[in-house]
Amino acid sequence: MMPIQDALEALNGKWKLLIISSISLGNNRFKEIERSIPKISSKVLAKELKDLENNKLIKRTISDYSSVLTEYTLQPHAETLKDVLIALRDWGKLHRKAIIDK
Amino acid sequence: MMPIQDALEALNGKWKLLIISSISLGNNRFKEIERSIPKISSKVLAKELKDLENNKLIKRTISDYSSVLTEYTLQPHAETLKDVLIALRDWGKLHRKAIIDK
DNA sequence: CAGAATCCTTCGCGATACTG
DNA sequence: CAGTATCGCGAAGGATTCTG
């Protein structure tokens, strides 16, 4: 039971897994991520990115003096989350069939 | 992306997956579930159980006129969530090692 | 572009007490 | 036992504006 609780705590909120998924799909810039996730605001995105960075799930790299080229990449530790994402995505499809569509 | 969002929406909050996990471990009565999840309150549990029922993830069965024998069981549709739970639990262990312990 | 600042509203959730 | 009823706080999140 406890490991699940640990995981849920690190991934709390409705955004973190989506952000990780987005980055893993090749969106590495702030605006790219923002555009890839419908309805997220820049404020929330900034905050979630910090959380993820603190939890060592992503890495922030500033490769430009003017900070216009900040990039976010997954840490190895987040790579292992892909199994979760896959399972979640598979279930999401089933769920949509079962509930949302009729 | 969207299926993940669907899944996250159905499983929102920090309790639903824990509840499903608990039921899958054999806790079928209200009090059993409550006791198995540290820190959850009866109010929150009642509300989450309703949500899960509405989403057809669990089934509520009253087998006594005085409602003292209510039981909660997983719907087939929730069984497919076990892959998510397994992935999450595996990752939770890693995460604990990586972050929480030093 | 990549955010920070501010203001404001909603909501998850806890605490406590009560009911059939 | 299996919940319901109230109260209330703090955090999450939306909208908008601003900055280097």
CA gap B29, A102 in Å, rounded: 30
Residue position matching structure tokens 């089933």: A94
pTM of the model: 0.92
Q: Where are the alpha helices (DSSP H) in A1-102?
A: 2-10, 16-24, 30-36, 42-54, 76-79, 82-95
Q: What angle do CA A15, A17, A19 make, to 5 degrees?
A: 65
What phi, psi does A73 have (nearest 5°)? -135, 155
Closest partner residue to B84 (CB to CB) among A1, A22, A84 is A84
Say what the pLDDT of residue B64 is.
76
- pLDDT of B74 higher than 50: yes
Read off the tokens for A91.
Answer: 């279930």
CATH number of the domain within which A76 lies: 1.10.10.10
Q: Do B6 and A94 touch (CB under 8 A)?
A: no
Q: Do A55 and B99 touch (CB under 8 A)?
A: yes
Asked if residues B24 and B74 have their Cβ atoms less than 8 Å apart, the reply is yes
Closest alpha carbon within chain A to B55: A99
Packing angle, helices B82-95 and A82-95, rounded to 10: 160
Say what the pLDDT of residue A78 is.
92
Handedness of CA A86, B13, A12, A68 (dihedral sign): positive
pLDDT bucket at B65, cuts 50 / 70 / 90: confident
Percentage of the residues of chain B whose pLDDT score is greater than 70:
97
Whole-number distance in Å between B44 CA and D9 C1': 16
Domain count, chain A: 1
Q: How far is B68 from chain A (nearest CA, A)?
A: 26
pLDDT bucket at A96, cuts 50 / 70 / 90: confident
Of residues B7 and B66, more confidently modeled: B7
Of residues B56 and B63, more confidently modeled: B56
Average pLDDT, chain B: 91
The DSSP result for B17-61, as a single string, is HHHHHHHHTT--SHHHHHHHSTT--HHHHHHHHHHHHHTTSEEEE
Q: Which residues sit close to strand C, CB under 7 Å?
A: A 29-32, 42-43, 46, 49-50, 60, 67-70, 72; B 12-15, 39-44, 66-68
Q: How far is B65 from chain A (nearest CA, A)?
A: 31
CA gap B11, B5 in Å, rounded: 10
Residue type (1 letter), A94? L
- pLDDT of B102 higher than 90: no
- pLDDT of A102 higher than 60: no
* Cβ contact A42 with chain D strand, < 7 A: yes
Of residues A39 and B65, more confidently modeled: A39
Summarize pLDDT for A9-50 with one digit per residue, the tens.
899 888 999 999 999 999 999 999 999 998 899 999 999 999
- Residues in a beta bridge with A58: A74
In the complex, which nucleotide's C1' lies nearest to the CA atom of residue A45? C3
- pLDDT of A68 higher than 60: yes
In the complex, which nucleotide's C1' lies nearest to the CA atom of residue B46? D3
Question: What domain range is A92 assigned to?
Answer: 2-100
Q: Do A3 and B93 touch (CB under 8 A)?
A: yes
CB-based contacts of A33, cutoff 8 Å, min separation 6:
A19, A22, A23, A27, A45, A49, A72
